[in-house]
Homo-oligomer: A and B are copies of this chain.
Amino acid sequence: MKIELDCLPCLLNQILRASRMVTDDVETHEKILREANDIISKYDSYSYAPEVGRVLHFLVKKHTGIKDPYQKLKQKHLKMALQYYPVLKRFLFDKEDRLYWVLKIAVVGNVFDAAINSEIKDGDDLMKELAVEFKKCELERFRKQLKNARTMLIIGDNAGETVFDRVLIEELLNLEIVYAVRSGPVINDATIEDAEQAGLGRQVKLISTGCDAPGVIRAECNPEFLKVLDEADIVISKGQGNFETLSEEKREIFFLLKAKCPVIAGRIDIDAGDYLFTTYRINN
């Protein structure tokens, strides 16, 4: 999905907030914003907004000397999510259509998003988000494919979300599941260490995509990931960044996400804030 002009002020705003999260030094904020502005002016030399996002977030690392500015926040989100884990399992206990609910649980984990300063504040917030129905949900298509599937790839998004994905995974343990994450820290996205902390290492094969952008840029991915992406019977892609970079892939992908911005929501014909489970593809 190509970069929209609306993404430019939004990216600039994101990086200002990120700078302020890491340091109080106004001169550093100014330096970062000035360079961010230069990068944004060359936006058409990038294919996807997450590519620009990676470069901008790299500026924060460069100017503050902090390798992973979101490490503390990721730890906080992982801790919160692990506290929610037993609540989610209890919530699921008496549900009739468990497949629907494990998908809904997995997508609620997508609420954590440091780029837009979003998180699940407490148990009430969690229950409120769980109660919101999917705006579009291709559940029956998924159910049908599961009958003959042997292998599945899940492409993770943020760190806290990996705990929610664990609930989905525990429902599908009859499958051989590979869970792919970023090759290095970027925003609050999950790395292998984060997914291991969520307890995923015991249940699935954890791999790196080979790409450290907040999305999946095929040209940068490693052969191991690309083989799974091309050959897995079912692929689930979590979150907006993965959608933006994978929505033109030829193979069918189930996109499981909360739409957080009007640009992406508009593309899929839903509203910002809506939950989505769809195989929709974009043709540009």
Contact = CB atoms under 8 A, between A and B. Distances in A.
Interface of A: 5-6, 8-10, 12-13, 16, 29-30, 33-34, 37-38, 40-41, 44
- Please provide the 5 A-B residue pairs with the shortest distance between their CB atoms, ordered closest to farther: A9-B13, A9-B12, A37-B41, A9-B9, A5-B33
The dominant DSSP class at the A interface is helix
B6 A16 contact: yes
A13 B9 CA distance: 6
Contacts of A12: 8-9, 12
A38 B34 CA distance: 10
11 contacts: A5-B29, A6-B13, A6-B16, A8-B12, A8-B33, A8-B37, A9-B9, A9-B12, A9-B16, A12-B12, A38-B41
A92 B129 CA distance: 46
Which of A10, A13, A38 counts the most B-chain CB atoms under 10 A from its CB? A13
A16 B10 contact: no
Nearest to A35: B41
Given A6-B16, A8-B12, A10-B13, 14 more contacts: A5-B29, A5-B30, A5-B33, A8-B16, A8-B33, A9-B9, A9-B10, A9-B13, A9-B16, A12-B12, A37-B37, A37-B40, A37-B41, A38-B41
A50 B265 CA distance: 32
A34 B41 contact: yes
Nearest to A40: B37
Contacts of A16: 5-6, 8-9
